Amino acid sequence: MGVRTISGRAAVPRAYWTWLGGTAVSLVGVQALAFAMALVAAGYGGRFAALVLTAINLPRALLLMAGGAVADRVGPWRVMIVSDAAMVVVTLSLALAAWSSTDPRPPLLIAALATGVVDAFHLPSSGSMPRRLVPPAVLAPAMSARQLAGQLALFAGPALGGLLLASVGLAGAALVNAATFAVMLSILVALHRRYRSTDDASASGPEAAPVWRAALDGLRVSATHPALRPTLLLTGAAAGFLLPVSSLVLPLLARERAWSPSATGTVVAGLAAGTAVVAVTVLVRGAASRPGATAVAGLLTAAVGMVALAVGGAPGWSVAAAATVGVGSGLFATHVGPLILAAAPATHLARVQSVLVLVQSLPLLLTTALLGTVAEIADASLVLHGCAGALTVSALTALASPVLRG
């Protein structure tokens, strides 16, 4: 792979920007359809809405390690091409079913299950692409750009989904998502012709063992690798006590303090803006020279922001506090992601990404239920103090690892 340079420094290859552009378009479509599906499902009650979410998350969690093993064996490009083609079929089928059926619940459940299965194979391959397309010297800026693409999708996707649902219904939202997957599919096919050798290398790496054994080997490598083990453990702690702040704790806090919807949206936007500012800074100026220590500092910064959220009352103060949480979250994400990806053995790239998604998903499922229960018994401020304390203990404990200190 040829690497361009800017003022003597390595630059992110053009192929990566092409892949990321298609990924961004696809992510906006995914978020738009997910929001439309959630609104339709919510119209049939909370239990059905939860069932739709479970139909996505459960097969994804169960099959993630198998998805990583398959990607390391047959090659990530092939897996992504097949996955995107499958999602074109799934979304077109959902559009047809939503248009012709009077009861959208069965199509929603079937589409949710299919999405969870496809995600289990697509996510590990997609997560390994920065390492495959980008030289190590600019891995952190490249992954910061990917994080920005995700933030853009989170901003634009739900708004687009609501607009599509109101104007053309669930069938129209599904058609738009199918079109975004078709765009990504064409980009993947074009890039695969150029990077076909990376699939060949991946296919020759893992031994000819059963998929389940190759999947377990990914767990073994992640659990025994001196850099991956502490980094993944810290990532799990961050997922459990940092990610629920925006999705669960802030809405509960807004209800307790009687904030208006616009004020609540401004606070949430403050958190996202803090994250985005860090991602842009890393994209432009590069990452810190000690990524592990910077990631730990990010968690401590987020903990300070959580305490400020808990003790403050006015929305203006809360916006600044939420932005502090966002800055801490951005520092953590932009430095721990490249650290994990760079440390992963070349033969286990996709399987390590599978473990990464697992260590984010499982703690989040557990702590979301726990924190929601605590908020009902006490209040959201106590939950914020608890999350801040847990992050502080996790960050200080992580400093015992030479990898994360140095």
Amino acid identity, position 257: R
Q: What is the CATH number of domain 214-405?
A: 1.20.1250.20
Instruction: For residues 127 and 211, give the distance between their C-alpha atoms in angstroms, rounded to a whole number.
Output: 19
- CA angle in degrees (0–180, nearest 5) for 17-132-151: 45
Predicted pLDDT of residue 196: 66
Predicted pLDDT of residue 308: 94
Reduce the DSSP state of residue 287 to 3 states and report it: coil
Q: Encode the chain (406 residues) as per-residue pLDDT tens digits.
A: 444 444 445 678 899 999 999 999 999 899 889 888 877 887 887 678 768 877 887 888 888 888 888 888 888 899 999 999 999 999 999 999 988 878 889 999 999 999 989 998 998 888 888 888 888 888 878 888 887 888 778 777 877 888 888 889 999 999 999 999 999 999 999 888 877 665 554 544 445 566 667 777 778 888 888 888 899 999 999 988 998 887 677 777 877 888 776 677 778 778 888 888 888 888 788 777 888 899 999 999 999 999 999 987 777 788 899 999 999 998 998 888 888 878 888 778 778 888 888 888 788 778 877 887 787 788 888 989 999 999 999 999 998 888 787 6
Whether the CB-CB separation of 358 and 228 falls below 8 Å is answered with: no
CATH topology of domain 5-205: Growth Hormone; Chain: A; (1.20.1250)
Burial of residue 104 (number of CB atoms within 10 Å: 0-12, 13-18, 19+): buried
Contacts of 122 (CB under 8 A, 6+ apart): 67, 79, 80, 83, 84, 87
Instruction: For residues 361 and 127, give the distance between their C-alpha atoms in angstroms, rounded to a whole number.
Output: 15
pTM: 0.71
Instruction: For residues 143 and 157, give the distance between their C-alpha atoms in angstroms, rounded to a whole number.
Output: 20
Contacts of 336 (CB under 8 A, 6+ apart): 231, 234, 235, 238, 291, 292, 295
Reduce the DSSP state of residue 9 to 3 states and report it: strand
Whether the CB-CB separation of 1 and 13 falls below 8 Å is answered with: yes
Predicted pLDDT of residue 46: 61
Predicted pLDDT of residue 384: 92
Q: Output the CA torsion sign for 108, 124, 246, 268.
A: negative
State the first-to-last Cα distance of the chain, in angstroms, to the nearest integer.
30
Instruction: For residues 201 and 347, give the distance between their C-alpha atoms in angstroms, rounded to a whole number.
Output: 9
Distance of CA 365 to the CA centre of its chain: 14
Predicted pLDDT of residue 54: 76
CA distance readout (Å), 83 to 287, 315, 324, 352, 354: 32, 43, 37, 19, 16
Predicted pLDDT of residue 255: 76
Predicted pLDDT of residue 302: 96
Q: Output the CA torsion sign for 21, 354, 50, 386.
A: negative
Most distant CA pair in the chain, distance: 62
Q: Do domains 5-205 and 214-405 have the same CATH topology?
A: yes
Predicted pLDDT of residue 396: 93
Predicted pLDDT of residue 118: 94
Instruction: For residues 115 and 118, give the distance between their C-alpha atoms in angstroms, rounded to a whole number.
Output: 5
Reduce the DSSP state of residue 300 to 3 states and report it: helix
Question: Which one, of 237, 238, 235, 243, lies nearest residue 368 by Cα?
Answer: 243
Predicted pLDDT of residue 189: 92
Q: Where are the domains of the chain?
A: 5-205, 214-405
Q: Output the CA torsion sign for 85, 357, 323, 50.
A: positive
Predicted pLDDT of residue 212: 65
Predicted pLDDT of residue 197: 60
